[in-house]
Amino acid sequence: MPKRLAIGVVTSDKCGKTRRVEISRRERDPLYGKYIRRRTVCHVHDEKNESALGDTVEIRECPPKSRTKRWELVRVLEKSRLIDLVALRASQKRRRHEEVTEKVGDETIEAPSEST
């Protein structure tokens, strides 16, 4: 019997070699006929840590790897376009610090540090 394949989005990559993937679908309510968004959460084994938060991935059913992991990563279909805000702010702060030190020139006056 062939293994089931599914496509989903990585919603957590905090554990080593484990990803939380959500497979979303729309179902029609039997009584009201309204379409409802549903999701299935799968814990996926990612041996090489290829995927990251927000990536679209293809996964395949496999024998149990642990209590919750019953899927394995096949490939990453699309990389995430999410922006890491912490890294962006740190680079902006570093750039401002460099500009201030360039303006000072030969003097060894340091820029005031931001304390928050």
Q: What is the pLDDT of residues 24-75, one digit of tens each?
A: 999 999 999 999 999 999 999 999 999 999 999 999 999 999 999 999 999 9
According to the model, what pLDDT value does residue 34 have? 97
Domain ranges of the chain: 5-78
**CATH fold group of domain 5-78:** OB fold (Dihydrolipoamide Acetyltransferase, E2P) (2.40.50)
Look at the pTM and tell me if it is higher than 0.85.
Answer: no
Q: What is the pLDDT of residues 5-16, one digit of tens each?
A: 999 999 999 999
For residue 67, the SS3 value is: coil
Within the chain, strands assigned E span 5-12, 18-28, 35-45, 56-61, 69-78
